[in-house]
Amino acid sequence: MKAQSQMYSRYYTYIKPVTRLPIIKTYGSTIFTILIIIIFIFFAIKPTVETIVVLQKKLSDTSQVLERINKKATDISLAKQNYDNLSTDIKDKISSAVPDLVQLKTIIQTLEQTAKLHEASISALQIQPLVIEIKPAKNKLGTLFEIDFTFNLEGTYVNLTSILQDLKASSRLISIDNLSISKLADGSGLVMSISGKAYYIK
């Protein structure tokens, strides 16, 4: 009780004299009303402002995405136009390098004929398992797929390096991921092991 009486005593000492000021008596209710309105407006507007900021950020991100999509569409259109302007011979070479079918036969023939041309013997040729879609989905953009293979040969250093040069310039696009050359246990020949990829579009 004594603590409460001290609190009320302080109230009357500091606050009550302020309420007796002429300006407070005249405009006190108006000032109080304005303060209440300002507080309500602040708490009402704050979520709206935050929402506007978030929407502006999303709009900016969306505009950037749209700009990239438009640029990509322009690039694709230009690429198609350039492709259409190519000669038939160049189009045939591109189709042979990256066909729209798996065509494992052409990969095997390329590897075997290259080895035979440079008098190297094939000790191993392995194509990694792959899933082949017989009927691709309609209206689907072509996707580049890889065919992994391992190719082991035996021959002289000159012949093996010539094989690498021919594979680099072969009609079927072939990339080499790993290459190792070691000496045969018997004789002076070398063993070359190639891990590579061929490509096709489906």
Q: What is the pTM of this model?
A: 0.55
pLDDT at residue 18, as a whole number: 56
| Homologous superfamily of the 95-201 domain (CATH) | Ribosomal protein S6/Translation elongation factor EF1B (3.30.70.60)
DSSP line for 31-81: HHHHHHHHHHHHHHHHHHHHHHHHHHHHHHHHHHHHHHHHHHHHHHHHHHH
Q: Please, which pLDDT band fits residue 170 given cuts at 50, 70 and 90?
A: confident
Task: Decide: helix, strand or coil at residue 184.
Answer: coil
Interval 42-71: pLDDT, tens? 777 777 778 888 888 888 888 888 888 888
More confident residue, 174 or 6: 174
